[in-house]
Amino acid sequence: MKKNLWTRVVAAVGSASLLVGALAACQTDNGPVAPAGSANDVDVALKKGGELTWWTWSDATQAQADAFTKDHPNVKINVVKLDNPDAAVTKLQNAVKAGSGAPDIVPVEYQTLPQLTMTGALADLTSFGFDSYKAQFTASTWNAVKVNDKLVGIPMDSGPMVFIYNKELYTSVGVTEAPKTWDEFVKASAAIRKKKPDTYIASGGDAGFFTSMIWAAGGHPFTVSGEKVTINLQDEGSKKFADMWGGLLQRGELSTVSTWSDEWSKALTQNKLATLMMGSWMISGMDDFGAGKWQVAPMPTWDGSPGSAENGGSGLSVTEPSKNKALAAAVLRFMADGKGRDLINQGGFPSTVKEFTNPTWADATFKAYGDQKANQIGAASAKSVIAGWQYLPYQGYANNVFGDSVGKAIGSKSDLNAALQEWQKTLVDYGNAQGFQVNK
């Protein structure tokens, strides 16, 4: 698989970092830090110049930093490459707790923004005038960088879900159109199973997939207000998805191979896995799995009307411990629009709405889909993402322990609703042990 896709995959699959002593970290004395300042302070900081540190897991960051310093040669940016999002979260939390060693700028997965905001790691950008960029971004990504009424980053890429399916395989079992509803999806699964018993319509999924599918089903299993957290993985949307998906699982119609494994890649290549339901960042990543046999379609919904969810993506933040927030904010301003934004959009599915009407982007064709203009499907999905989703302030931990309950149920083809309840108990107990008020 191509290297740039793996970079996006790492950012999309989900951080497994643990939240350790969250509320204690909020109270850590990190010494004097620079105040947030104003929009004018950003211009003043740019004239003065200075030195910044930018942590990243992406190979693209150095080019972005170089583009900024070319325009502003009195600014030096030290780009520090970390292994993955997990490493960035863990190292930043440790630096905040220690009171030293934090960078000025850091990318953060959308699902991890609440966690790092709660632990006092991210600066509020509101006073720098960044709210003026709201209209430039999709509603779901802008909502993701707003945590507890603080603007703690700017959106980078996005991951509105799409339905990528093996059209040749579907057609071979008599399914000539992509399912528009989940009832049609279930029927397509039965047709595949009947005619090709060694082929599966989809894989069972991981934590990021489950939360996105619950989101797309209209679920709101996580509600957060400060330190008060409510978890209900048996709300209407959660149960609706688990009932449908669990039925497929228990009938043996879902593959238990792990997503991104060698076996998973082989199944796609050999026409043994018919469908991927992922963020639109995957649109450009299917060339390795056969040219011309794939198609991109909107996600099925319960009633056939548009409805989607985000699956992956990250924002770019200024850290709270930064001694030069205004200069760091200048870099984010550069990345929000113009040349910097163009560089971001080269490496992932865009979060800026103007790109959706850019003919060069919207009319791009892909060999994997027989020259389909697949980006247009992703753009439509971005407009239909269901509003109101919240992540836990310890979503990294939640994803890390998913395999102990729901993951086991997938492997053993057992009751998904019971597994979701087991996962919920683990998350309630953990949150309360960390000082949150969970389900109280």
pLDDT of residue 22: 43
The answer on 244 and 325 residing in a single domain is no
- The C-alpha atoms of residue 105 and residue 116 are separated, in whole angstroms, by 13
Sign of the C-alpha dihedral, residues 183, 369, 310, 221? positive
3-state SS class at 147: strand
Rounded to whole angstroms, the maximal C-alpha distance in the chain is: 70
Domain boundary among 331, 362, 393: 362
Task: Please give the mean pLDDT across all residues of the chain.
Answer: 92
CB-based contacts of 31, cutoff 8 Å, min separation 6: 99, 100
371 secondary structure, DSSP code:
S
Provide the residue count of the chain: 440
CA gap 132, 135 in Å, rounded: 7
Q: Are residues 96 and 117 in the same domain?
A: yes
Q: Both 111 and 178 in a single domain?
A: no
Looking at residue 179, its pLDDT comes to 98
Task: Please name the amino acid found at residue 423.
Answer: W
Asked whether residue 254 falls in the same domain as residue 355, the answer is no
Q: Give the per-residue pLDDT at 151.
A: 97
- Same structural domain for residues 211 and 262? yes
CATH assignment of the domain containing 396: 3.40.190.10
Residues 339, 289, single domain; the answer is no
Reading the block at residue 47, the tokens are 């004239």
Are residues 322 and 303 located together in one domain of the fold?
no
Calpha distance 237→217 (Å, rounded): 5
CB neighbour list of residue 102: distance below 8 Å, 6 or more residues apart: 92, 95, 96, 121, 319, 320, 321, 322
Asked if residue 383 and residue 297 are part of one domain, the reply reads: yes
Say how many domains are in the chain. 2
- The domain boundary, picked from 321, 338, 362, lies at 362
Q: How many CA atoms lie within 13 A of 155 on its CB side?
A: 27
- If phi > 0 it is left, if psi is from -120 to 50 it is alpha, else beta; for residue 148 that is left
The pLDDT assigned to 36 comes to: 64
According to the model, what pLDDT value does residue 37 have? Answer: 75
User: Do 41 and 172 reside in the same domain of the chain?
Assistant: no
d(CA 380, CA 162): 9
- For the chain, which ranges sit under pLDDT 50? 1-32
Place of tokens 């509105």: 160
304 and 316 both lie in a single domain? no
- Helix, strand and coil in the chain, % to nearest 5: 50, 15, 35
- C-alpha–C-alpha distance, residues 13 and 16, integer Å: 9
DSSP characters over 63-77: HHHHHHHHH-TTEEE
Contact 39, 128 (CB under 8 A): yes
Find out whether 182 and 302 touch, Cβ atoms under 8 Å: yes
Strand partners, 422: none
What's the confidence (pLDDT) of residue 330? 98
Query: At a CB cut-off of 8 Å and minimum separation 6, what does 25 contact?
Result: 93, 96, 97, 119, 120
**Boundary (domain end) residue, out of 346, 362, 378:** 362
Same domain, 278 and 333: no
Range of the domain at 255: 161-311+366-438
Distances, alpha carbon 240 to alpha carbons 214, 243, 244, 422, in Å: 8, 5, 6, 17
Q: 99 and 225: one domain?
A: no
292: left (phi over 0), alpha (psi -120 to 50) or beta: left
Angle at 359 between CA 358 and CA 362, to 5 degrees: 80
Instruction: Give the pairing type, strands 275-279 and 154-155.
Output: unpaired
The string of pLDDT tens digits covering residues 31-48 is 445 556 788 999 999 999
- The residues near 381 (Cβ < 8 Å, ≥ 6 apart) are 160, 161, 162, 280, 298, 299, 308
